[in-house]
Homo-oligomer: A and B are copies of this chain.
Amino acid sequence: MRNLNSQKVPVPTLERLATYLTALAEMSDRSVQTISSSDIEMLTGINAAQFRKDLSYFGEFGRPGIGYDVEELRSRLAKILKVSRTQPVLLVGAGNLGSALVGYPGLRAQNFHIVAVFDNNYNKIGRRLWDLEIRDVADMAAANRELQARIGIIAVPSNAAQEVAGRLVEAGVRAILNFAPAPLKVPADVVVRNVDFVQELAVLAFHLSEEEEADPELVRGIL
């Protein structure tokens, strides 16, 4: 998250918008026409006041005493998050994580389409990852002249991440989701979000109280 430029809208608000959007898509699938902010709270676990506050950044929504029209709210949020139409995404790294991402059903449901996958391993190039042919990372810029993707995902080992970031930027990508636990240097007009699994677990571990921590001595005593 640390490379994200400061914006008027707080990043946690944007994260929650995506959550509302997922809930609205579900409601739409079930043909629900109108929802209240307490419905949203029940569906997302985000409290109703927070929901109203988050929407307030983007104008007027809903009607007092009636609630929110599901389709209207959905389409406005999708427009705000620029997912009202298909958003093509480049993936670099055809390993386990890359495979998990291409196979992740939620991405396509929310209009993010991974349109190409790249790797530098000649044993992988030319093979398929799900329905995509794995392409040579060296061909990225040429490929993206047709694909016109502006979002890229880095799912390669740390030591390759910076080079891949450079290639993505060169190919025209302006937003990068980085799964490599390595800081990326990118031009000021490129935004980066970092997802670091170790970091996530470390924050959780911190919140374990001392007495609840697993004690290897104790475990050995039991066995």
Q: Residues of A with Cβ closer than 8 Å to B?
A: 1-5, 7, 9, 11-12, 14-19, 21-22, 43-46, 80-83, 85-89, 95-97, 99-101, 103-107, 109-110, 112, 146, 148-151, 157-158, 174-177, 181, 183-185, 191, 193, 195-209, 212-216, 218-219, 222-223
Contacts and interface: CB of A to CB of B under 8 A. Distances in A.
A223 B145 CA distance: 10
A211 to B, nearest CB: 11
A4 B12 CA distance: 14
B112 A201 contact: yes
Contacts of A199: 15, 18-19
A169 to B, nearest CB: 12
A204 B175 contact: yes
Contacts of A181: 19, 22, 106
A177 B205 contact: no
A161 to B, nearest CB: 12
Copies of this polypeptide in the complex: 2
Contacts of A214: 87-88, 148-150
Contact of A3 (B45, B107, B148, B177): B45
Contacts of A95: 100, 103
Contact of A204 (B96, B177, B208): B177
Nearest to A14: B203
Contacts of A176: 204
B87 A205 contact: yes
Contact of A207 (B5, B88, B96): B5
Given A99-B96, A214-B88, A202 B4 contact: no
A183 to B, nearest CB: 3
Given A22-B181, A148-B218, A45 B203 contact: no
A212 to B, nearest CB: 5
B212 A200 contact: no
A104 B97 contact: yes
Contacts of A216: 85-86
B175 A208 contact: yes
6 contacts: A80-B206, A100-B100, A112-B201, A148-B214, A148-B218, A175-B207
